[in-house]
Structure 1
Amino acid sequence: MKSTITWAMRAGPWLAALATGLCLVGLGGYVLDREALHQLLPVQTTSHPVTLLSALMLGLSLMLDGPRRQSPARRGVKLALAVMALALCLTRLVLGSDPLLAQVAPDVLDHVVQDRVLPDRVPAPSHDMTRNAALTLAVLSLAVGARALRRPGISQTLALVAGVPPVLSFAGTLYGMGHFYGEMSAQTTVLCALLISACLAMGANRGALRVILGDEAPGRIVRRQILIGLLVPLAVGYWMIAQVEDRALAEPFALAIVALGIFVVLLVSVSALWSEREDRARRRREREARHMASHDALTGLLNRHRFERDLLTLVERARREAMPLALIIVDLDHFKLVNDTGGHACGDLVLRRTGAVLSDRIRHADQLARIGGEEFALLLPDTDRQAAIELAERMRRAVAEMRLEPWSGHSGRLTASLGCAVYQSPETAVEFLARADAALYIAKARGRDRVVAAGARPTGIERVAE
């Protein structure tokens, strides 16, 4: 079953594609002089061509936001589209009009805007996108640019900020206030909502959205709190404003109601994010504690306690399923001399290097542990006797080829003795370990630097390699 976060991330590109398609249809309606295309919603106002052009650039940029690893050229195109959209919006915000478009195509603008286009606002016709639409798309351009620069946290924050003007526009429509702080047209509001949702959905696995959309109980609780915190103030405000006869007083009151709803949503989101960070830190500490309880602090390998537990589990499985299971015990030769001549720091270095060398030669399913001072043990599931002997011999050669800087009283050359055994049902885990240990002692007694394997009989020992 897919998680809510997975569904949201998959829906993001589709939302961007839908917004892009609506922009293309709207712009096509202006070019072809088809009012039914650029006025898709049954309302009096429609989106300005510059609004559609800016939204189109942002939609295309979001549609290019695909795989995690993207080429520099692709990221450059995404960033360029966001920058061009930002330039159009800033032109409107700073200069108060669209002189850039007017200079590029004055004839088209006169024909389209003066004769055919109703502006984003309800009152008299205008050549401009509304200030709210320009502000929303400008902030959203920064959010899309942040995604192109691989700054998902900043992108998410900016996208949430960009959602404030559309909420004000929706509230103005709900409360019947045509000039409610630069109300956008319904069509522009829908386009902005689609683009903001797409930008947020693509980063749903990070930050506050990761908490809000999570399938765990905290995520479900936060979603209910946000829904109630936004809808209840709007509904109560609608009823209270209906009782106010003076419209001059109603507009500031409506703004306060909307601000309250946004504040509640923001407060719940920030609280959820803080709670998630604390919970994540707690889970990290628990993981570290579990790791320390089962791993050797010096080498990072499994410790003896974890090895004995896994040995019991694998022996039981081998007995029940008749699965081959091998055990190799590795012991460094004359390790006391290393500590006596080089000190414990040198001994620790040798143990870490040995653990790393042995780890490089095992499979993912194999389990390597440090079970004593200079003693290592390796459990090999689904491994027969011949394969275990060959691996043990490779390990012996690897230790012998491991070179350390010579120090006073030592050449820096190390060797190891290895004993291996294959599980023989119905022996116990203790008997299995004892056979491998006995093979190791035989290897040491016969001169060290060799592999000895336990024979087929539980008490038999056979020298394999020197």
Structure 2
Amino acid sequence: MALTTKWFGLLSNNRTSVTLSQTLALVVLLLSGTSVAGYLLELDALYRPIANGPATNPLTAVVGVLLAICLFSSIKKQPLLVMLCAYISLLLVSIRIVDVLFFTNNAKLLTLFIHDYTFEDQQGQTNIMGLNTALMLEAVAIATLCRLYRFRIASQLLSFSALSIPMTAITGYAYGVPSLFGEMSFITTTLGIILSLSALLANANQGIVRVLLSSHIASRVARAQMVGSYLFAFILGLLVVQSFMHSPIKSLISAFVVAVSWFVIALIGIGVLIQDRADRKRRLTERKQRQSENKDLLTQLLSRAAFSRKLQTAVTRQRRYQHALCFLVIDIDHFAIFNQKLGRQTGNELLKRIAKTLKTNCRETDILCRYGSEEFALLIEVKTPNGALVLAEKLRAAIEALQIEGVTETYGAVTVSIGCATLSNAISAETALSNAEKAMHNAKCSGRNQVVAYEAYS
């Protein structure tokens, strides 16, 4: 089970799925090429595997080659080749569909080896591209064009639709019901299944295919349900059909089994897609919640709780490598007055501007957080305690130089008081942070708009 899950997980990787899609395209190229070789070498078994049964028409083989080239080629590197082969395939198959609908015979004029299969028709052997084959190839061709033009969900739906046709033919061969496979030979049936799977895997990183190949429990259950329901319906249908071996109702039962199987598969697929979307919304909500716990929503700095968690990691690193760590606690002077006179909205804008200024003047390795309503805390790694004072003075000056509309022109410069404290092996991080707070309060008591080190007055 674990190995199967890992295998499906690899398939959901875009590069792996594209590689497998190209491999399947090569198999289609081989099967189509084998049929063409059968006509060249006059070996009936290469394009008509069942004696007196349906044959793979030359036009089917040619379109198979073209679509295999489409799926094997890279859309990014060879878009013109993909487009050309897809449109030619679409044109050839569309001509055949028009022939079926309007009882014309234009496709024969475009087909290689026309004398070979015209002779076979005269002998009563079926050798035409049936409507089921034409619809299957048409769906794959349009799916390829949808992938080229980035309509990936539409491409997947068309590929699923194409896959249902040869799978129905397989059921017809298993049940011995010619009406289910019509003029589709066993080689064409096999080619169609591989071709449709190749088209599906080319878009495996999106939509329902991505969901079904996922390693999530819901996806694993859905895969098991699809396979189980199809096998159950197939085997049950086979048993029932055997009991109506010579009855005209045999075809109806077979068609009913096929319809029920694909209806259940579609229902399971839609269900798991809906569940996946709900799970993605839930995971997105949880991620946003975790982010809100880690970040202060107003300033987008670390929250106090997240700062405490990062603090523990930094202290462990400091103890191990003997780095010098310093705390800065920064408090906005007279912030309550700004809030009272200018309103909370202006106060919030003031907080955001100061937070942005602090972040701009800090290094990426520094740990900055919103510590209180108008307080910020900063943990920095320095070579000497004096380096912390230099940075603190730089931050104080940068904030004092801010020009804030609606504030500085009326009330003067916004200033901050900063306290510094060094973390040593002799004291804990909590004590060092508390010392920085004490230094900050001392700075405020000493006239504000200044930097005070804890060691300077302790």
TM score, norm. by length of structure 2: 0.82
Partners of 1:48 and 1:189 lie apart in 2 by: 12
Counterpart of 2:166 in structure 1 is: 166
Counterpart of 2:20 in structure 1 is: 14
> Residue 323 and residue 254 in structure 1: after superposition, are their counterparts in 2 closer, same or farther (change >3 A)?
farther
Whether 2:187 is the aligned partner of 1:184: answer: no
- Which has the higher mean CA deviation after the structures are superposed, 135-144 or 286-295? 286-295
Shift of 1:203: 2.8
Query: Any idea what the Cα deviations from partners look like across 1:386-424, whole Å, max 9, x if unmatched?
Result: 765565555445545544334586367544444444421
Whether 2:65 is the aligned partner of 1:56: answer: yes
For residue 351 of structure 1, give the secondary structure of its aligned residue in structure 2: helix
Query: Any idea what the Cα deviations from partners look like across 1:62-92, whole Å, max 9, x if unmatched?
Result: 33446xxx48xx5565445433322322222
For residue 410 of structure 2, give the secondary structure of its aligned residue in structure 1: coil
CA contact (8 A) 2:143 2:159 kept: yes
For residue 143 of structure 1, give the secondary structure of its aligned residue in structure 2: helix
**20, 23, 28: which one pairs with 2:29?**
23
> Residue 297 and residue 110 in structure 1: after superposition, are their counterparts in 2 closer, same or farther (change >3 A)?
same
Counterpart of 2:436 in structure 1 is: 436
Counterpart of 1:234 in structure 2 is: 234
Whether 2:159 is the aligned partner of 1:155: answer: no
Shift of 1:157: 2.1
> Residue 165 and residue 296 in structure 1: after superposition, are their counterparts in 2 closer, same or farther (change >3 A)?
same
Partners of 1:438 and 1:274 lie apart in 2 by: 56
Whether 2:92 is the aligned partner of 1:88: answer: yes
> Residue 210 and residue 26 in structure 1: after superposition, are their counterparts in 2 closer, same or farther (change >3 A)?
closer
CA contact (8 A) 1:329 1:375 kept: yes
Shift of 1:25: 6.7
CA contact (8 A) 1:342 1:408 kept: no
Partners of 1:310 and 1:338 lie apart in 2 by: 32
Partners of 1:27 and 1:271 lie apart in 2 by: 40
Following superposition of structure 1 onto structure 2, how do residues 128-147 of structure 1 map, counting pairs within 5 Å?
A: 128-147=128-147
CA contact (8 A) 2:59 2:129 kept: yes
Shift of 1:244: 0.7
For residue 329 of structure 2, give the secondary structure of its aligned residue in structure 1: strand
Shift of 1:129: 1.7
- Which has the higher mean CA deviation after the structures are superposed, 167-176 or 260-269? 260-269
For residue 369 of structure 2, give the secondary structure of its aligned residue in structure 1: strand
TM score, norm. by length of structure 1: 0.81
Counterpart of 2:376 in structure 1 is: 376
> Residue 446 and residue 109 in structure 1: after superposition, are their counterparts in 2 closer, same or farther (change >3 A)?
farther
Partners of 1:77 and 1:390 lie apart in 2 by: 63
AA at the equivalent of 2:98: V
> Residue 238 and residue 165 in structure 1: after superposition, are their counterparts in 2 closer, same or farther (change >3 A)?
same
Following superposition of structure 1 onto structure 2, how do residues 31-430 of structure 1 map, counting pairs within 5 Å?
A: 33-35=40-42, 39=46, 42-44=49-51, 45-65=54-74, 70=76, 74-75=78-79, 78-96=82-100, 102=108, 108-111=112-115, 113-114=117-118, 124-126=125-127, 128-180=128-180, 182=182, 184-319=184-319, 322-362=322-362, 366-380=366-380, 385=385, 392=392, 395-396=395-396, 398-400=398-400, 402-406=402-406, 410=410, 413-430=413-430
> Residue 150 and residue 324 in structure 1: after superposition, are their counterparts in 2 closer, same or farther (change >3 A)?
farther
> Residue 194 and residue 379 in structure 1: after superposition, are their counterparts in 2 closer, same or farther (change >3 A)?
farther
Q: Which runs of 5+ in 2 are unaligned?
A: none
AA at the equivalent of 2:87: V
Partners of 2:198 and 2:70 lie apart in 1 by: 11
Shift of 1:272: 1.7
Partners of 1:217 and 1:451 lie apart in 2 by: 57
CA contact (8 A) 2:67 2:86 kept: yes
Equivalenced residue count is 446
For residue 274 of structure 1, give the secondary structure of its aligned residue in structure 2: helix
Partners of 2:155 and 2:220 lie apart in 1 by: 24
Say what the alpha-carbon RMSD is for the aligned residues. 3.7
Whether 2:456 is the aligned partner of 1:461: answer: yes
Q: Which runs of 5+ in 1 are unaligned?
A: none
Partners of 1:62 and 1:176 lie apart in 2 by: 32
Shift of 1:254: 0.4
AA at the equivalent of 1:124: Q
Partners of 1:168 and 1:383 lie apart in 2 by: 75
CA contact (8 A) 1:16 1:194 kept: no
Partners of 1:395 and 1:123 lie apart in 2 by: 93
Shift of 1:249: 1.3
Greater share of residues in helix: 2
